[in-house]
Each structure stands twice: as C-alpha cells, then as structure tokens.
Amino acid sequence: MRPVRSQSSLPSFYGLNRALADARWPAADRTRTLSVAALILLGWLAIAITLSALGTYHVTSGDRPTIQFAILLPIGIGALMIWGWEPAKRVLHAVPQQWLVGVQVFRALGAIFLILSATGTLPRLFALPAGVGDILVGLSAPVVGLAYARAPQKAAGLVAAWNVLGLLDLIDALGLGFLTAPSRYAFEVQPNSDLMTVLPLVLIPVYLVPLFFVLHLASLAKLRREAGAISGHGRVADVRA
C-alpha cells in the first residue's frame, strides 16, 4: 500500500518538489526540474495571456476561428513529451498517480458555466454539459485518487475509466464551445456568446483545458507503464521458478 500524500490535490511546484524528494532525487536535479517546469508552464501562460489580450482568439459572426490551434498545439506537444522525452518520463515516474488524479479537483470550478448560463450569458447547449461534466470529474478526482493510493492494483481500472470520462468531457466541451461561439461555423443558438474567446475566460480553453487534457494523458501513460512493469516482474518470476 502506498502512503497518501497530502499534496496530491495541490497543483503546485511545492507538490512536485515533494514528489521528487520522496523519489530521492538529488537537490540539484530537483531544482533543475522545477526551473524547467516553471519555464514551460509560466511561459505558456504568459504567451496565452498576451495573445488573448491582443484579440487573437476573439471571433464574431463570419470570422474564421483560430482558438483551435492554441488548444491542439499544447496537447500535441504535451503528448510528445510524455511518450518521447526522457526527462518527462523520469518526472512522470516520480510523481504519484494520486497526484495526477487529485489535482483535477479544480475542474469542479466549471460550475461557473452553470452560473453564466443561468444569467443568460452563455448558451445552455455549451454550458450545461460542460459545467456538469467538469463538476462530476472534479468532485470525483479526490475519491479516485484516494482509492488508488490505498489499493493501486485494484483501483487501476477505476483510474483508467475516470481518465477516459475526463477526456470525453473535455472533448465534448471543446466541440460545443467551438460550435456555439460566434464564427462562420457556429450554430444559431441564443445567446451566441463570444465570452469564451476574450479575457479572462478565454484562458480556460487555451490554457486550462490543454493542461487538464495532458494530465489525463500522463495518468494513462503512467498506468500503462506501471502495468507493464508489474507484468514484466511476473514473467521474470515465472522464469526463475
């Protein structure tokens, strides 16, 4: 049984540092890794804010949207890092699975979509499924993370299913958001709001959604590698027997 770490629900560099320390990384390696992580995450955030402030993602009826590039590019880069960049693999090996799961408790803040829908600011076609889905995924994250911390092998299937649910929720929200924001591809729904294409809410699709998406991919990748390691140990034991 793995110990339950209190920082597993904290999306902080402190939590990452503790995870690396628990994995017995040398101080110099931890400092270097934290610096790179800060450069990537804070640099990405600065770029997202700057481009949003310049109106890069703002659309009106008849415009061709550009926000999809800000969403898909970070997800693609994150996936390549998870599966192809050795430093990222080492970090993923050190970070507890329950941290990758529990950090998504902040998805519950998607309740803001329901509030904005109730005030007539966002179209219900987008806000209701996106808000309800985020709330369910966010509130269940600590429960799933705790279940895995207590019994990793028994809860592996639960973690996998939860990740798939989380990914489907994000894909659904992105698709509906794309079709209900004013552009040449939009549905004729009322209100047809551009609120998600301007600051501050535009940071949800161009920063938070790709970040949560990559966290889901990281969790699934870690599950697969751990299952492969367990299977490999089993084969070795059979050979020795």
pLDDT digits over 158-196, tens only?
Answer: 999 999 999 999 999 999 999 898 888 888 677 768 899
pLDDT digits (tens, 9 = 90+) for 102-136: 999 999 999 999 999 999 999 999 999 999 999 99
Give the per-residue pLDDT at 167: 98
Per-chain mean pLDDT for the chain: 89
What CA–CA distance (Å, rounded) separates 233 from 130?
A: 42
pLDDT digits (tens, 9 = 90+) for 38-64: 999 999 999 999 999 999 999 888 888
Q: Which conformational region is residue 65 in: left (phi greater than 0), alpha (psi within -120 to 50 degrees), or beta? A: beta
pLDDT at residue 9 tops 50 = no
For Cα atoms 36, 39, 43, give the angle at the middle one, nearest 5 degrees. Answer: 155
Query: 230 pLDDT band (50/70/90 cuts)?
Result: low
Beta strands in the chain (DSSP E): none
Eight-class DSSP state of 66: -
The answer to whether the beta carbons of residues 189 and 180 sit under 8 Å apart is yes
pLDDT digits (tens, 9 = 90+) for 59-82: 888 888 999 999 999 999 999 999
